Amino acid sequence: MKVILSGGGTGGHIYPALALADVIKEKEPETKFLYIGSFRGVEKNIVPKTGMPFKQLAVQGFARSLSMTNFKTVWLFMKAVKEAKKMIADFQPDVVVGTGGYVSGAVLYAAQKMGIPTVIHEQNSVAGITNKFLAKGATKIGIAFENARSFFPADKVEMIGNPRAQEVAKMSSDFSWTTYGLSDDKKTLLIFGGSQGAPAINLATLEAIPEFNKRDYQVVLVAGPKRIDNFMKMLKEQGKTLGDHIKVLPYIDNMPAVMQKASVLVSRAGATSIAELTALGLPAILVPSPFVTGDHQTKNANSLVEVGAALSIKEPELNGESLVKAADALLLSDEQAAVMEGQSKKVGIQEAGDRFYNLLKSVIK
């Protein structure tokens, strides 16, 4: 089998594609892959490290207001489609998979015009612009949230989940909290606002430090490599100190392994984060980012809250008091945390990669 993967811009589009590739390689080791990404997205840093053949196209998004840059966007898109057709013709794929981002729009549109089966994957509860554009010509569409079904032609949609969940569920972890001078015998609150940290979450944690100092459970904040200095500076200016059971870190590079050792997670509500925490059945306090297209993180979070799989705090309501209250509710109550763990596992589709693989096989001529 020969597969072209395309997804770009953010890790939320890239990691599901790479997780799918791993599943395919397990089932059909001789499969050949080509990943087509953009010059501007983080895929240029992530995909080459896997050893997968990687090619790039120049694309950009539309400005939300009337702007001359939109003419350049259209021109770049048409040029990218033409270049993508050449890449596709050279590779001769059996199927082309798009996981979102502007670059996948050009690649899958080119494949559709060439009569090659295409499958798109929507990770969020609100469909992205690119996937909505591609839906009419797509052969099949895989979704990770039931709420996304309404955005696409009903006869093309299948619920498959996020392949990242299967990848994380299979991971083993020998991580120990003693690495950071903490104990493996205590409950641990892991606060993670993304690889760069989240200012609102950092500030709420800073405000909560006096109360966290009184708690028996451990607290680990991943503040972000560019934000940790400011956090520590404000901590000192406010005359606050960290108890021995509280750690502030700039970054954690093996987050899924660390998540397996956490008791409760505080995080944004991006598709990848939700796939990972539901794969592990990890009780969570979600703080949706209000700065995303279609407010999809709020809808992602609500899908878990509605079934009792997570708590959620809107960013304008996030402060030290609300954070401590939510943390106490889960870390001081074994019963509520146990119920949430069970519900979280029900939401997570741990065989998502297998479902995606079967979907691909169904469209190959």
pLDDT, tens digit (0-9, with 9 covering 90-100), for 259-285: 999 999 999 999 889 999 999 999 999
Q: Residue 289 is encoded by which pair of tokens?
A: 């980012």
* Whether residue 189 has pLDDT greater than 80: yes
Quick one: average pLDDT of 147-171?
A: 92
Query: Would you state the pLDDT for residue 150?
Result: 94
Quick one: average pLDDT of 178-206?
A: 95
Token pair 């790039």 is found at 56
Instruction: Evaluate whether the domain defined by 2-162+350-363 bears CATH number 3.30.200.190.
Output: no
Query: Would you state the pLDDT for residue 11?
Result: 84
Q: What share of the chain is helix, strand, coil (3-state, %, to 5)?
A: 50, 15, 35
Q: Write the pLDDT tens digit of every residue in 38-78.
A: 998 889 999 999 999 999 999 887 666 666 677 788 889 99
Reported confidence tier of residue 100, pLDDT bands at 50, 70, 90: very high
| Equal CATH topology for 2-162+350-363 and 177-347 | yes
Strand arrangement of the beta sheet that strand 32-38 belongs to: 54-57, 32-38, 2-6, 95-98, 118-122, 140-143, 157-159
Give the separation between CA 15 and CA 49, rounded to whole angstroms.
13
How many angstroms separate the Cα of 240 from the Cα of each of 77, 228, 249? 52, 15, 17
Quick one: average pLDDT of 73-100?
A: 96
- Residue 172, SS3? coil
Q: At a CB cut-off of 8 Å and minimum separation 6, what does 22 contact?
A: 167, 353
* Whether residue 116 has pLDDT greater than 80: yes
Query: Would you state the pLDDT for residue 10?
Result: 82
Q: Give the residue, 168 or 205, on which the prediction is more confident.
A: 205
Residue 246 near residue 209 (C-beta atoms within 8 A): yes
Of 319, 192, 194, residue with least CA distance to 247: 192
Q: At a CB cut-off of 8 Å and minimum separation 6, what does 355 contact?
A: 142, 158, 160, 161, 349
State pTM to two decimals: 0.85
Annotated binding-site positions for UDP-N-acetyl-alpha-D-glucosamine: 10-12, 124, 195, 252, 297
Q: Where are the domains of the chain?
A: 2-162+350-363, 177-347
Annotated binding-site positions: 10-12, 124, 195, 252, 297
DSSP 75-118: HHHHHHHHHHHHHHHHH--SEEEE-SSHHHHHHHHHHHHTT--E
Instruction: Evaluate whether the domain defined by 177-347 bears CATH number 3.40.50.2000.
Output: yes
Any bridge partners for residue 221, and if so which? 191, 248
Residue 124 near residue 296 (C-beta atoms within 8 A): yes
* Whether residue 174 has pLDDT greater than 70: yes
